[in-house]
């Protein structure tokens, strides 16, 4: 179940600056107070230099400790990476490409959204993992130890109880399960979340950003320590049904299922949902997901595509013998509003919610004509983030969830 913990933020204590290129329909906001623990901004400009300049103007100040950003894969990434490096000289940065952005005004496309953390409220360290296949427990433990040691030098609070990890992974690497499980073992009780990079639904090339450039087949791990209250959470709107499909033949390395219930996988799935194989596409996969049951919880294994040989490619790991449960979506907006409503009713307004929202959820909202309503809800709830090719929560790689961290405004006491 999702869980949350943070305190009420005074409504006049902070604001979200809007970059110059995003002012077409919204009035310019007043300058942000220097005491704000974090700032957000976004740019719709198509020019990388203009993007970086606008973000630097909105986020830059003497106590800027770290910048996290999410960008459309439509940008010339080499140029954007260089422009960001020049605009934020000496400031550590991490980011990734997306399957859509969540801006301070709600869902966006073809833009860049960024978050700036203040060193007076956050200690941040980050590490790049380039050899995903070789990321074993020894390497993971050394990485975590190094990140925590770096945070301790500027810690706002004891690192063991007041830190969380953010992971950004190449969304087409097929290494998420192994990397996340290994990292989670090394993190111990430190909570973690994150998302897999996207490429605007092209399923061709996804990238993470670190040390001035974008990279494929890599991951970025960010450790964040703060005295502000926070809670890592996850939720989804999918409910289990009675129908089951057994994976009877799979290509584990390729995340492909060749047979379900001893029949060609695409044919058997199409039979389950009452369609022809030729009708199967991303919108169908979003409406009729499958999940693996572990204990009392169901973890979605979303289908990526139908292959020419009749097999199904998945976004998450699959293997022979697993039982896939048919899932039925509940009303997605009602579920999202209930989750964010519980946040408000129980804990008050957050300073920010960093959200990793599966792109299949967005496809569902688009099919329902509910994107504008969802955008208004996300904006009211101060959610900023991106649409992913998979979400990460406490070492698990999952699909079709809304996963993230909520950050409060008042330091913990006691």
Tens-place pLDDT, residues 217-239: 999 999 999 999 898 999 999 99
- Alpha carbon distance 347, 343 (integer Å): 6
Is this structure's pTM higher than 0.75? yes
What's phi and psi for 230, nearest 5 deg?
-150, 160
- Alpha carbon distance 228, 411 (integer Å): 4
Domain boundaries, the chain: 38-235+333-408, 238-329
Asked if residue 26 has pLDDT above 80, the reply is: no
Asked if residue 253 has pLDDT above 50, the reply is: yes
- Alpha carbon distance 67, 342 (integer Å): 29
Tens-place pLDDT, residues 97-130: 999 999 999 999 999 999 999 999 999 999 999 9
- Which pair of tokens denotes residue 42? 């976004």
DSSP string, 209-263: EETTEEESS-EEEEEEEESS-EEEEEE--EEEEEEEEEEEEEETTTTEEEEETTE
Closest to 215 in 3D by CA, of 402, 78, 20: 78
Tens-place pLDDT, residues 48-67: 999 999 999 999 999 999 99
Asked if residue 19 has pLDDT above 80, the reply is: no
pLDDT in the model for residue 346: 66
Tens-place pLDDT, residues 183-221: 999 999 999 999 999 999 888 899 999 989 999 999 999
pLDDT in the model for residue 291: 92
Asked if residue 1 has pLDDT above 50, the reply is: no
- Alpha carbon distance 43, 53 (integer Å): 10
Tell me which of 158 and 344 has the higher pLDDT.
158
Closest to 335 in 3D by CA, of 390, 377, 363: 377
Closest to 46 in 3D by CA, of 72, 24, 78: 72
Please count the other Cβ atoms lying within 10 Å of the Cβ belonging to residue 226. Answer: 25
- Which pair of tokens denotes residue 369? 């004509």
pLDDT in the model for residue 169: 95
- Which pair of tokens denotes residue 218? 């890599």
- Alpha carbon distance 396, 184 (integer Å): 9
If DSSP codes are grouped into helix, strand and coil, which group holds residue 199?
coil
pLDDT in the model for residue 94: 98
């Amino acid at each position: 179940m999702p869980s949350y913990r943070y305190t009420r933020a005074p409504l006049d204590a902070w604001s979200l600056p809007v970059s110059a290129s995003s002012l077409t329909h919204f009035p310019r906001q007043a300058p942000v107070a220097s005491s704000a623990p974090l700032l957000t901004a976004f740019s719709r400009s198509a020019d990388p230099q203009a993007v970086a300049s606008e973000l630097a103007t909105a986020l830059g100040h003497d106590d800027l400790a770290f910048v996290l950003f999410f960008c459309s894969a439509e940008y010339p990434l080499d140029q954007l990476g260089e422009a960001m490096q020049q605009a934020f000289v000496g400031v550590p940065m991490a980011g990734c490409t997306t399957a859509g952005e969540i801006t301070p005004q709600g869902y966006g496309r073809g833009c860049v959204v960024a978050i700036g953390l203040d060193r007076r409220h956050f200690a941040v360290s980050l590490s790049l993992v380039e050899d995903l296949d070789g990321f074993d427990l020894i390497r993971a433990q050394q990485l975590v130890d190094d990140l925590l040691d770096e945070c301790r030098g500027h810690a706002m609070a004891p690192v063991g109880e007041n830190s969380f990890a953010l992971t950004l992974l190449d969304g087409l690497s097929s290494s998420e399960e192994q990397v996340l499980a290994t990292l989670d073992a090394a993190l111990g009780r430190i909570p973690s979340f994150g998302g897999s990079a996207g490429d605007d639904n092209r399923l061709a090339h996804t990238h993470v950003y670190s040390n001035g450039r974008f990279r494929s087949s890599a991951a970025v791990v960010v450790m964040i320590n703060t005295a502000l209250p926070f809670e890592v959470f996850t939720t989804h709107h999918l409910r289990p049904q009675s129908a089951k499909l057994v994976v009877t033949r799979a290509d584990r390395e390729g995340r492909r299922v060749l047979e379900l219930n001893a029949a060609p996988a695409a044919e058997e799935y199409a039979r389950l949902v009452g369609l022809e194989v030729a009708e199967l596409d991303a919108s169908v996969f979003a409406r009729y997901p499958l999940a693996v049951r572990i204990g009392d919880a169901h973890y979605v294994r979303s289908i990526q595509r139908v292959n020419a040989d009749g097999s199904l490619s998945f976004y998450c790991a699959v293997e022979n013998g697993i039982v896939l449960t048919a899932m039925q979506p509940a009303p997605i907006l009602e579920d999202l509003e209930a989750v964010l409503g519980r946040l408000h009713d129980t804990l008050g307004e957050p300073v920010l919610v960093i959200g990793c929202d599966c792109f299949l959820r967005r496809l569902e909202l688009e099919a329902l004509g509910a994107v504008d309503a969802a955008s208004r809800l996300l904006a009211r709830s101060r959610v900023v983030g991106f649409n992913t090719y998979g979400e990460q929560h406490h070492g698990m790689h999952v699909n079709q969830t809304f996963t993230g961290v909520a950050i409060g405004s008042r330091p913990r006491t006691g």
